[in-house]
C-alpha cells in the first residue's frame, strides 16, 4: 500500500464480481460546437459495508470514501480489509482525458530491494569486523605475566579472552569478507525470488478541467508457483492533482504483489468525484457523433426495459450557452410539458400536462428541440408520451 502526503492512494485485493450495467450520462454544450461522445468499457466500483453496497466517491490516503446517509464516510484499508464490488460497464461520456508515455515496470519494495539489502549487508559486515578488531586489540594489550592466573571462580577467564582475541584478530578480515559475500549472496537469492511491486508512470491532460480526479488501476496476475491458470487481482487507487489542458506527470509504486508475479492484464480507470471519464487507454473505446450516441442510448434503454411501462425522460442535451444566465434572472424556472415522439424527440413547450396550452416562446422552443429523451415505453415498446421538464433543475 502506498500513501503519500498530497497525492493520495489506497490499494486492496479483491474478488471481482463481474456483471454488465449501463451508465449513460448526458451533457450540456456550452460552446455550441459539434460534440463527440466516447463509448468505452468502464467499471462501477462499490464498497461492501455491513452487507450494504455504496458507490465509491473518492480515495484519501489509504482509505476509500463513500456516501452513507448523505455524508462522506472514510473507510481505511490500513485498519481493516475493504471488500470491493467491481462491475464492468459500458459507458458513454463527452468528457475525455489523454494518457501518454504510459510505463509499467516490475519493481521492488524498499525492504526487498537488492541494493538496499547489499548496503545493509556491507554495513553489518563492517560493523562485525570493527567489533572483532576491537576485541583483538584489547587482547593484545593483556599482560602476558597474568595469562595463566586463575580467576576467583577458578577459571582462566583472561586466557579465554586472549584466545578469543587471537582468533578474532586472525580472522577479522575473513569475517568481514564473509559478511560482504553473504550480502551479495542475499542479493542473488532475492533477485531469484523476483519483484514484489510495480512502478507506474504516465502524463495526463484534459481539454475540460477535471477538478477531483483519481485513478484506479486493476491488475490481474499469476502468482509464481501456483497452478497454471490461477489468476489473482490487485486494485490500487490514487487521487491526483486537478487535471487541465497542460499535461502533468504521475508516478507511483504499487506494493503488495507476491514474489515473481506475472501480469496477465492491466487497466487504468479515471474518475472525477465518482464519475468515470474516458481515456485513450480505455477498453473497447469508440468515438461517436451525437446522433450515434443517442441511437446507442435508445437501444440500450429499450433493451434494459423489455417489458417496462415508463414515462419519457430527458437524457442528452445540446442547449444554448446563455440558458444558465437566463435561468439566473428568474426565467424558465417553472415546470413545462413537452410531447415526446417514440423516437425521443420534442419540439414544443406546453404549460399543462395535457399539452393543451402551448407556450409561445421561440427561444424556449429552441431549447426543447435541443433536448433528446429516452422515449416513453408501453410494455417495452417505444410510444409517444409527455415529459415534465424543469430547466432550472435539469441535469443531463
pLDDT the model gives residue 395: 75
pLDDT the model gives residue 110: 75
Helix and strand counts by DSSP (H, E) for the chain: 5, 21
The single residue listed with the C-alpha cell 493520495 is 8
Please give the span between the terminal C-alpha atoms of the chain, in angstroms, as a whole number: 37
pLDDT the model gives residue 308: 94
CA 285/CA 268 separation, integer angstroms: 13
pLDDT the model gives residue 119: 67
Give yes or no for residue 275 having a pLDDT over 80: yes
pLDDT the model gives residue 216: 94
pLDDT the model gives residue 98: 97
The lowest-confidence range among 191-195, 319-323, 326-330 is 191-195
More confident residue, 396 or 150: 396
Q: Tell me the average pLDDT of the chain.
A: 78
Tell me the average pLDDT across 345-374: 94
pLDDT the model gives residue 136: 54
pLDDT the model gives residue 191: 45
Angle between helices 114-140 and 157-193 (to 10 degrees): 170
Confidence of residue 134 (pLDDT cuts 50, 70, 90): low
Confidence of residue 47 (pLDDT cuts 50, 70, 90): very high
Tell me the average pLDDT across 346-353: 93
pLDDT the model gives residue 287: 96
Q: What are phi and psi of 394, to 5 degrees?
A: -70, 125
Render pLDDT for 257-271 as a digit per residue (tens, 0 to 9).
998 899 999 999 999
The lowest-confidence range among 28-37, 126-135, 204-213, 262-271 is 126-135
The single residue listed with the C-alpha cell 502468482 is 223
CA 210/CA 136 separation, integer angstroms: 68
Enumerate the domain spans of the chain. Answer: 9-100+198-287, 110-193, 307-393
pLDDT the model gives residue 78: 74
More confident residue, 171 or 108: 108
pLDDT the model gives residue 123: 58
pTM: 0.70
Give yes or no for residue 80 having a pLDDT over 80: no
The helix or strand, by DSSP H or E, that contains position 158, with its residue range, turns out to be helix 157-193
The lowest-confidence range among 17-31, 83-97, 181-195, 227-241 is 17-31
Burial 203-234 (b: 16+ CB within 10 A, else e): ebebeeebeebbbbbbbebbeeeeeeeeebbb
pLDDT the model gives residue 296: 95
Query: In terms of Cα–Cα distance, which of 62, 67, 54 is closest to 79?
Result: 62
Confidence of residue 140 (pLDDT cuts 50, 70, 90): low
Of the chain, the percentage scoring pLDDT greater than 90 comes to 56
Render pLDDT for 295-307 as a digit per residue (tens, 0 to 9).
999 999 999 999 9
Tell me the average pLDDT across 76-94: 87
Coil, strand, or helix at residue 257?
coil
Of the chain, the percentage scoring pLDDT greater than 70 comes to 70
CA 193/CA 237 separation, integer angstroms: 27
Sign of CA dihedral 308, 311, 315, 316: positive
Chain centroid offset of residue 338 CA = 41
Render pLDDT for 232-256 as a digit per residue (tens, 0 to 9).
999 999 999 999 999 999 999 998 8
Reported for 325-328, long-range contacts at CB under 8 A and 24+ positions apart, including other chains, are 326/363, 327/391, 327/392
More confident residue, 333 or 174: 333
pLDDT the model gives residue 82: 84
pLDDT the model gives residue 75: 87
Give yes or no for residue 105 having a pLDDT over 70: yes
Transcribe 131-151 into DSSP letters: HHHHHHHHHHTS-GGGTT---
Environment class of 349 (CB within 10 Å of its CB; exposed 0-12, middle 13-18, buried 19+) = buried
More confident residue, 33 or 378: 378
Confidence of residue 153 (pLDDT cuts 50, 70, 90): very low
pLDDT the model gives residue 336: 95
Render pLDDT for 5-32 as a digit per residue (tens, 0 to 9).
233 445 544 433 333 333 333 344 444 4
pLDDT the model gives residue 32: 47
Amino acid at each position: 500500500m502506498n500513501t503519500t502526503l498530497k497525492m493520495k492512494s489506497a490499494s486492496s485485493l479483491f474478488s471481482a464480481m463481474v456483471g454488465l450495467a449501463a451508465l449513460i450520462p448526458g451533457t450540456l454544450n456550452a460552446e455550441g460546437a459539434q460534440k463527440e461522445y466516447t463509448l468505452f468499457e468502464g467499471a462501477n466500483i462499490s464498497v461492501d459495508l455491513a452487507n450494504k453496497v455504496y458507490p465509491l466517491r473518492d480515495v484519501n490516503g489509504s482509505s476509500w470514501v463513500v456516501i452513507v446517509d448523505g455524508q462522506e464516510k472514510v473507510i481505511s484499508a490500513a485498519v481493516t480489509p475493504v471488500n470491493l464490488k467491481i462491475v464492468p460497464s459500458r459507458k458513454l461520456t463527452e468528457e475525455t482525458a489523454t494518457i501518454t508515455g504510459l510505463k509499467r515496470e516490475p519493481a521492488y519494495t524498499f525492504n526487498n530491494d537488492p541494493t538496499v539489502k547489499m548496503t545493509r549487508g556491507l554495513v553489518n559486515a563492517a560493523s562485525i569486523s570493527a567489533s572483532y578488531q576491537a576485541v583483538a586489540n584489547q587482547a593484545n594489550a593483556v599482560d602476558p605475566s597474568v595469562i595463566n592466573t586463575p580467576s576467583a571462580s577458578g577459571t582462566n577467564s583472561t586466557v579465554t579472552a586472549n584466545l578469543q582475541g587471537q582468533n578474532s584478530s586472525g580472522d577479522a578480515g575473513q569475517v568481514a569478507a564473509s559478511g560482504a559475500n553473504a550480502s551479495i549472496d542475499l542479493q542473488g537469492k532475492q533477485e531469484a525470488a523476483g519483484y514484489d511491486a510495480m512502478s507506474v508512470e504516465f502524463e495526463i491532460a484534459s481539454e475540460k478541467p477535471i477538478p477531483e480526479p483519481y485513478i484506479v488501476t486493476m491488475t490481474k496476475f499469476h502468482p509464481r508457483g501456483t497452478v497454471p491458470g490461477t489468476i489473482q487481482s490487485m486494485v490500487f487507487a490514487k487521487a491526483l492533482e486537478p487535471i487541465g489542458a497542460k499535461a502533468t506527470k504521475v508516478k507511483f509504486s504499487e506494493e503488495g504483489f507476491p514474489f515473481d508475479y506475472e501480469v496477465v492484464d492491466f487497466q487504468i480507470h479515471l474518475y472525477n468525484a465518482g464519475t468515470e471519464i474516458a481515456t485513450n487507454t480505455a477498453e473497447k473505446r469508440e468515438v461517436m457523433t451525437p446522433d450515434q450516441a443517442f441511437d446507442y442510448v435508445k437501444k440500450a434503454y429499450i433493451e434494459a426495459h423489455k417489458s417496462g411501462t415508463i414515462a419519457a425522460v430527458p437524457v442528452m442535451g445540446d442547449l444554448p450557452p446563455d440558458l444558465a444566465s437566463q435561468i439566473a434572472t428568474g426565467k424558465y424556472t417553472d415546470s413545462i410539458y413537452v410531447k415526446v415522439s417514440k423516437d425521443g424527440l420534442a419540439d414544443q413547450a406546453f404549460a399543462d400536462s395535457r399539452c393543451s396550452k402551448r407556450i409561445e416562446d421561440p427561444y424556449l422552443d429552441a431549447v426543447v428541440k435541443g433536448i433528446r429523451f429516452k422515449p416513453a415505453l408501453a410494455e417495452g415498446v417505444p410510444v409517444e408520451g409527455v415529459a415534465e421538464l424543469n430547466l432550472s433543475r435539469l441535469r443531463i
